[in-house]
Structure 1
Amino acid sequence: MYFLYTIIASLAVFFILKWLKKRRYCTDLRRLDGKTIIITGGNSGIGKETAIALAMRGARVIIACRDPDKAEKAVREIKLKSHSLNVLHMELDLANLSSVREFCKSFLQREKKLDILVNNAGMPGVLEWTDNNFSMCFGVNHLGHFLLTNLLLPRLKECAPSRVITLTCSSYKYQKLDFQDLNYNQLPFFTYCRSKLANIYFSQEVARITEGKGVTSYAVHPGFVQSGWTCHYSILFRMLVQVIMWMFFVPCEIGAQTVIYCAVSDEAAKHSGGYFIDCRPATLRPFARDAAVAKKLWEASERLVNLA
Structure 2
Amino acid sequence: MSVELPAPGRMEDRVVVITGASSGIGRAAARELALLGATIAVVGRNPERTRAVAAEVSGTAYLVDYADLQSVRDLAERLLADLPRIHVLANNAGAIGPRATTRDGFDQTFQQNHLSPFLLTNLLLPRLVDTARDAPPGSVRIIQTSSAGNLFGRVRIDDLDNRHVGPWLGGFTAYGTSKLENILFTRELARRHQGDGISAYAFHPGYVASGFGGDGPVSSLMKRAAVSPEEGAAPLVRLASTARVPAPSGNYFDRLTAPGRTRRQANDAGLAAALWAESERRSGLAG
TM over 0.5: yes
Q: Which residue of 2 aligns with 1:5?
A: none
Structure with greater Cα Rg: 1
Q: Which residue of 1 aligns with 2:128?
A: 156
Question: Which of 276, 286, 296 matches 2:253?
Answer: 276
Report the 3-state secondary structure (helix = DSSP H, G, I; strand = E; otherwise coil) of the residue aligned with 1:218. Answer: strand
Q: Is 1:144 paired with 2:116?
A: yes
Structure 2 Cα separation of the partners of residues 244 and 171 of structure 1: 12
Report the 3-state secondary structure (helix = DSSP H, G, I; strand = E; otherwise coil) of the residue aligned with 1:28. Answer: coil
Q: Is 1:292 paired with 2:265?
A: no
Structure 2 Cα separation of the partners of residues 29 and 47 of structure 1: 16
Cα shift at 1:175: 2.5
Q: Is 1:208 paired with 2:191?
A: yes
Q: Percent identity?
A: 34
Cα shift at 1:27: 5.6
Q: Which residue of 1 aligns with 2:31?
A: 52
CA-atom RMSD, angstroms?
1.9
Structure 2 Cα separation of the partners of residues 75 and 89 of structure 1: 5
Q: Which residue of 2 aligns with 1:226?
A: 209
* Residues 175-254 of structure 1: pairs in structure 2 closer than 5 A: 175-185=153-163, 187=168, 188-231=171-214, 237=216, 241-242=219-220, 244-245=222-223, 247-254=224-231
Structure 1: tracts of 5 or more residues without a match: 1-24, 80-84
Q: Do 2:6 and 2:242's aligned partners in 1 also have CA atoms closer than 8 Å?
A: no
Q: Is 1:96 paired with 2:68?
A: yes
Q: Which residue of 2 aligns with 1:174?
A: 152
Report the 3-state secondary structure (helix = DSSP H, G, I; strand = E; otherwise coil) of the residue aligned with 1:165. Answer: strand
Q: Is 1:32 paired with 2:15?
A: no
Q: Which residue of 1 aligns with 2:282?
A: 304
CA separation of 1:220 and 1:281: change in aligned 2, threshold 3 A: same
Q: Which residue of 2 aligns with 1:82?
A: none
Amino acid aligned to 1:197: L
Amino acid aligned to 2:77: K
Cα shift at 1:73: 2.2
Structure 1 Cα separation of the partners of residues 6 and 36 of structure 2: 13
Structure 1 Cα separation of the partners of residues 196 and 118 of structure 2: 19
Q: Moved runs in structure 1, 4+ residues, more than 4 A?
A: 240-244
Amino acid aligned to 1:297: L
Q: Is 1:124 paired with 2:102?
A: no
Report the 3-state secondary structure (helix = DSSP H, G, I; strand = E; otherwise coil) of the residue aligned with 1:271. Answer: coil
Report the 3-state secondary structure (helix = DSSP H, G, I; strand = E; otherwise coil) of the residue aligned with 1:296. Answer: helix
Q: Which residue of 2 aligns with 1:11?
A: none
**Higher mean displacement: 124-133 or 192-201:** 124-133
Q: Do 1:119 and 1:165's aligned partners in 2 also have CA atoms closer than 8 Å?
A: yes
Q: Is 1:68 paired with 2:61?
A: no
Q: Which residue of 1 aligns with 2:135?
A: none
Q: Do 1:30 and 1:57's aligned partners in 2 also have CA atoms closer than 8 Å?
A: yes
Q: Do 1:225 and 1:250's aligned partners in 2 also have CA atoms closer than 8 Å?
A: yes
Cα shift at 1:52: 0.4
Structure 2 Cα separation of the partners of residues 74 and 251 of structure 1: 18
CA shift digits 1:171-226 (9 cap, x unpaired): 11123211111111562221111111111100111111111101000011101111
CA shift digits 1:107-143 (9 cap, x unpaired): 1112111000000000014212222121111000000
Structure 1 Cα separation of the partners of residues 263 and 222 of structure 2: 27
Structure 2 Cα separation of the partners of residues 241 and 89 of structure 1: 30
CA shift digits 1:24-72 (9 cap, x unpaired): x976241110111110010100000000010001111011112212212
Higher helix fraction: Structure 1 or Structure 2? 1
Cα shift at 1:146: 0.2
Aligned length: 271
Q: Which residue of 1 aligns with 2:20?
A: 41
TM-score (norm 1): 0.83
CA separation of 1:171 and 1:243: change in aligned 2, threshold 3 A: closer
Structure 2: tracts of 5 or more residues without a match: 133-138
Report the 3-state secondary structure (helix = DSSP H, G, I; strand = E; otherwise coil) of the residue aligned with 2:273. Answer: helix
Q: Which residue of 1 aligns with 2:136?
A: none
Structure 2 Cα separation of the partners of residues 33 and 261 of structure 1: 15
Cα shift at 1:242: 4.8
Higher relative contact order (CA 8 A, sep 6+): 2
CA separation of 1:244 and 1:200: change in aligned 2, threshold 3 A: closer
Q: Do 2:25 and 2:233's aligned partners in 1 also have CA atoms closer than 8 Å?
A: yes
